[in-house]
Amino acid sequence: MRQTSQISKLTSLSAGFLALSLTVFCASFSASALANDAMPAAPAAEAVKPEVPGKPKSDPAAGEALYSNGDVSRGVVACVSCHGANGKSASGTWPKLAAQHAAYTAKQLKNFKEGTRANPVMMGMAAALTEQDMVNIAAYMAKQEPSLGVAQNKETIELGQSIYRGGIAAKGVPACAACHSPTGAGIPAQYPRLSGQWAEYSTAQLMAFREGVRKNSAQMTIIATKLSDQEMKAVADYMAGLH
């Protein structure tokens, strides 16, 4: 009986081992078969794969219509009333938008709508815009000729130039030109055009970054906290004359 019991146990173990081996083999074979079958079937799978929605395709003409006339039916106010014809505003209260990089302009509009960039007027304006509207307006602005400006303060021109081109090593402030380019043209989709911008507007933005009012660029917040009022005004005035 004892021998029979041992044989029974061995038989059970063998059967279990065999079942496990078959399971592993089948799993391996199935995976291999699926992998081999997937290779020739890939083109078909690719063909029926639904498209992943991307960014809206820009329509500068539609952007011009919204910029110049707005859309009363949707509560969209014309941008031209503040930012001027072709994005060339007449006052430092409102930034010049002409020739600004489309990706940057669209991002700012989106930030205003989301509330990550605070400005009561622009938050209200952006609230009525769709993402497509933003892309269209930005595309229209990018096609406009840049608006040139002139540095006004001769007493601070050297300080402004020094900061823009070389930064302030003692404070850990990098050269503005490193990101915004030597001519202030910026880098598309990354850093905005600053050349020709109203000094008043640029100064106000630097102060907003420093004071935490504007929070949609961690990099600029860090830089602005290291600048004094005088340094901000000097570099803003210098950038106004860049072209």
Q: Where are the domains of the chain?
A: 60-142, 157-240
* Residue 50 φ/ψ region, left for φ over 0, alpha for ψ in the -120 to 50 degree band, beta for the rest: beta
pLDDT of residue 16: 41
Measured CA to CA, the distance from residue 79 to residue 87 in angstroms comes to: 8
What fold does the segment set 157-240 form as a domain? Answer: Cytochrome Bc1 Complex; Chain D, domain 2 (1.10.760)
pLDDT of residue 22: 32
- Angle (CA) 141-142-143 rounded to 5° is 90
* Residue 212 φ/ψ region, left for φ over 0, alpha for ψ in the -120 to 50 degree band, beta for the rest: left
What is the reported pTM?
A: 0.77
pLDDT of residue 197: 98
Buried b (16+ CB within 10 A) or exposed e, 92-118: bebbbbbbbbbbbbbbbbbbbbeeebe
Q: Rounded to the nearest 5°, which phi and psi values hold at 76?
A: -90, 120
Equal CATH topology for 60-142 and 157-240? yes
pLDDT of residue 53: 58
- Angle (CA) 121-179-134 rounded to 5° is 35
- Best CA proximity match to 149, nearest among 94, 100, 219, 196: 196
- Per-residue pLDDT tens, the chain, 243 aa: give them: 433 344 344 334 333 433 333 333 333 333 333 333 333 344 444 444 444 456 789 999 999 999 999 999 999 999 999 999 999 999 999 999 999 999 999 999 999 999 999 999 999 999 999 999 999 999 999 999 999 999 999 999 999 999 999 999 999 999 999 999 999 999 998 899 999 999 999 999 999 999 999 999 999 999 999 999 999 999 999 999 998
What fold does the segment set 60-142 form as a domain? Answer: Cytochrome Bc1 Complex; Chain D, domain 2 (1.10.760)
pLDDT of residue 56: 86
pLDDT of residue 26: 36
Could you tell me the two tokens for 242? 């860049």
